[in-house]
């Protein structure tokens, strides 16, 4: 059973729609009770970093999710701001991140972006997959496209945690991993067939 | 490398899908839900869906239709029509839509932009400006209510006013070029491109993929919106939902986009 965390932020329904069409059992989680029996967790996120952290802390879900992820090794996938929440801090706000992956969130340097559209980084971009062994990317290819929408990026302090990168003025981490903790900067739930494959792969880990 | 977005723009009128010319004479082209299913199969970059009745008739957004459309969309979906407060936008988000478009509400009360940005994030707030060139001065003016109501506002001044308020994307829709299929109105697009680095999507005038190509050639990263070419085929404008396949899209971008 996949649990999609609903802490008041994000396009929860888009994930549920995909898992429903793939016939994979899933549940939208708003209470700790609903976390019982959850084998995988999706941490969605749309909007601003501080807002996401405050809402997640206030949801009352954090302690239990933390236990499941850090002590019981339940796989978790952070998406967009959900990825950024996995880091220590963000230039977008003052709140502390979860700190589950050794990373900090920085704003893109627009001086490096040559076209007149600067931020947010919006649209379909390619990902460069660093290892073919990574099961999250099974049946996906290098240079496959995903939909991005963000102005801040996830800067891993340990490059081993970066499992895919994308170019926007410079290369940045578009997917990260630390043991059972995964995150993607793009929106798999809005990336057509490539996104479906990734969400399917996550469900099969 | 990031690609420009090629975006079908779908209009809903009396629950059907329509296409207009100069914002007038809506022609029925099919069922919206069916069209979204087809566009999903054709792997479109993004979709803009606008209910052109809602704001004029002061109707609430049609949530049950929006929900059905969102269930079918595996790509980013932008909905506009009838949104004039934050609660409506939140409700639309909860149905699985990523972007909300506002037009008349933003013009009547620009503070709604910052309110929306605070509650759903600025990346999801799209402001649509319907613009028309004045005959004598050659300046442009913003219209609302499907091109029937003048606002007296200059689009450049208005964009300068709102660009720091939390808008995530600006859609420029040319009333003069809508449905004419004669190419985009580069005059206004140029003027707007110079004053903002926000993502910009343009609508009105695309009559062929090479028109879209010309837009890409000029601005590289841009949203190329179009209605007619994705719902009509041939010179008799027979209704046929279509969209370039991946290979055609890649070739178009390769041909026109300047790689830096």
The pLDDT of residue A26 is 98
CA distance A168 to chain B (A): 7
Interface of B with A (CB under 8 A): 1-5, 40, 43, 45-46, 70-71, 73-76, 93-98, 120-121, 123-124, 168-169, 193, 197-200, 219-223, 260
Distance CA B90, CA B98 (A): 10
Percent share of chain A, pLDDT over 90: 93
Q: Which helix (DSSP H) or strand (DSSP E) does residue B9 occupy?
A: strand B5-13
CB-nearest partner of A11 from B98, B221, B223: B98
pLDDT exceeds 70 at position B259: no
**Residue B240 Cα distances to A176, B17, B32, B227, angstroms:** 42, 12, 13, 12
Dihedral, B25, B29, B30, B31 alpha carbons, nearest 10: -50
The pLDDT of residue B25 is 94
Q: Quick one: tokens of B48?
A: 């803009």
Does A145 contact B at CB distance below 8 Å?
A: yes
Q: Is the CB of B71 less than 8 angstroms away from the CB of A17?
A: yes
- What is the CB neighbour count within 10 angstroms for residue B190? 11
The pLDDT of residue A10 is 74
Q: Are strands B16-21 and B5-13 parallel, antiparallel or unpaired?
A: antiparallel
pLDDT digits (tens, 9 = 90+) for B31-49: 999 999 999 999 999 999 9
| B120 HSE (CA, 13 A, CB side) | 26
CA distance B52 to chain A (A): 25
CA distance B25 to chain A (A): 33
Dihedral, B203, B208, B214, B216 alpha carbons, nearest 10: 60
Distance CA A89, CA A183 (A): 15
ipTM: 0.95
Q: What are the chain B neighbours of A47 within 8 Å (beta carbons)?
A: 120-121, 123-124
Q: Is the CB of A145 less than 8 angstroms away from the CB of B169?
A: no
Q: Is the CB of A46 less than 8 angstroms away from the CB of B123?
A: yes
Distance CA B196, CA B90 (A): 27
Mean pLDDT over the full length of chain B:
95
Distance CA A157, CA B252 (A): 39
Q: Which residue has the tokens 């932009």?
A: B113
Q: How confident is the model at residue A158 (pLDDT cuts 50, 70, 90)?
A: very high
pLDDT exceeds 80 at position B115: yes
CA distance B197 to chain A (A): 5
pLDDT digits (tens, 9 = 90+) for A34-47: 999 999 999 998 88
pLDDT digits (tens, 9 = 90+) for B46-99: 999 999 999 999 999 999 999 999 999 999 999 999 999 999 999 998 898 999
pLDDT exceeds 90 at position A11: no
Q: Which of B51, B53, B130, B211 is catalytic?
A: B130
CB-nearest partner of A13 from B94, B120, B260: B94
Nearby residues of B111 by Cβ (< 8 Å), 6 or more positions away: B165
Q: Is the CB of A117 less than 8 angstroms away from the CB of B74?
A: no
The pLDDT of residue B119 is 85
pLDDT exceeds 70 at position B260: no
Domain B5-256 -> CATH class: alpha beta
Provide the chain A residues 45-74 that lie in CB contact (below 8 A) with chain B: 46-48, 51
Total-model pTM = 0.96
How many angstroms separate the first and last alpha carbons of chain A? 12
The pLDDT of residue B235 is 83
The pLDDT of residue B32 is 96
Backbone angles phi, psi at A92, to 5 degrees: -80, -20
Q: What are the chain B neighbours of A46 within 8 Å (beta carbons)?
A: 93, 98, 120-121, 123-124
CB pairs under 8 A between A and B: 107
- What is the CB neighbour count within 10 angstroms for residue A84? 29
pLDDT digits (tens, 9 = 90+) for A55-98: 999 999 999 999 999 999 999 999 999 999 999 999 999 999 99
Chain B residue nearest residue A150, CA to CA? B123
Percent share of chain A, pLDDT over 70: 100
Chain A residue nearest residue B45, CA to CA? A124
Q: How confident is the model at residue A147 (pLDDT cuts 50, 70, 90)?
A: very high
Q: What are the chain A neighbours of B98 within 8 Å (beta carbons)?
A: 11, 14, 46, 149, 187, 190
| CATH architecture of the domain with residue range A2-204 | 3-Layer(aba) Sandwich (3.40)
Catalytically active residues of A are: 80, 187, 189
pLDDT exceeds 70 at position B220: yes
pLDDT digits (tens, 9 = 90+) for B163-199: 999 999 999 999 999 999 999 999 999 999 999 999 9
Q: What is the mean pLDDT of residues B201-226?
A: 97
């Amino acid at each position: 059973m996949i649990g999609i965390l609903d802490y008041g932020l994000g396009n929860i329904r888009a994930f549920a729609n995909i898992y429903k069409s793939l016939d994979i059992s899933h549940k939208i989680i708003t209470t700790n009770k609903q976390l019982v029996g959850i084998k995988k967790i999706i941490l969605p996120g749309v909007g601003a970093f501080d807002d996401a952290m405050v809402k997640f802390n206030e949801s009352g879900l954090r302690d239990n999710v933390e236990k499941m992820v850090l002590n019981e090794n339940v796989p978790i996938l952070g998406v967009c701001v959900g990825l950024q929440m996995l880091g220590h801090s963000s230039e977008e706000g003052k709140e502390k991140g979860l700190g589950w992956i050794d990373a900090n969130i920085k704003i893109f340097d627009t001086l490096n972006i040559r076209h007149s559209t600067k931020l947010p980084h919006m649209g379909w971009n390619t990902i460069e997959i660093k290892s073919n062994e990574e099961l999250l990317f099974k049946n996906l290819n290098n240079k496959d496209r995903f939909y991005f929408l963000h102005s801040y990026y996830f800067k891993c302090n340990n490059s081993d945690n970066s499992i895919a990168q994308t170019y926007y003025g410079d290369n940045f981490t578009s997917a990260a991993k630390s043991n059972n903790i995964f995150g993607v900067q793009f929106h798999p739930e809005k990336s057509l067939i490539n996104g479906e494959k990734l969400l399917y792969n996550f469900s099969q880990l | 490398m990031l690609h420009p977005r090629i975006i079908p723009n779908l209009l809903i009128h009396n629950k059907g899908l329509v296409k207009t010319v100069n914002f007038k004479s809506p022609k029925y082209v099919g069922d919206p839900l069916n069209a979204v299913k087809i566009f999903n199969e054709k792997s479109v970059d993004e979709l803009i869906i606008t209910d052109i009745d809602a704001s004029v008739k002061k109707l609430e957004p049609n949530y049950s239709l929006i929900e059905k459309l969102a269930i079918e969309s595996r790509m980013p979906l932008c909905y506009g029509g009838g949104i004039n407060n934050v609660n409506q936008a939140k409700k639309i988000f909860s149905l699985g839509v990523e972007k909300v478009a506002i037009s008349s509400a933003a013009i009547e009360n620009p503070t709604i932009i910052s309110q929306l940005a605070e509650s759903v994030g600025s990346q999801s707030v799209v402001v649509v400006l319907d613009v028309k060139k004045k005959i004598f001065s050659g300046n442009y003016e913003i219209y609302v209510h499907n091109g029937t109501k003048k606002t007296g506002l200059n689009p450049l001044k208005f964009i300068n006013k709102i660009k720091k308020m939390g808008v995530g994307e600006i859609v420029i829709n040319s009333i003069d070029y809508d449905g004419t299929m004669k190419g985009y109105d580069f005059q206004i697009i140029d003027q707007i491109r110079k004053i903002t680095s926000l993502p910009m999507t343009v609508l009105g005038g695309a009559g062929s993929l090479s028109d879209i190509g010309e837009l890409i050639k000029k601005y590289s990263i841009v949203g190329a919106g179009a209605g007619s070419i994705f719902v009509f085929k041939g010179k008799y404008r027979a209704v046929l939902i279509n969209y370039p396949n991946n290979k055609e899209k890649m070739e178009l971008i390769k041909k026109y986009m300047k790689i830096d």
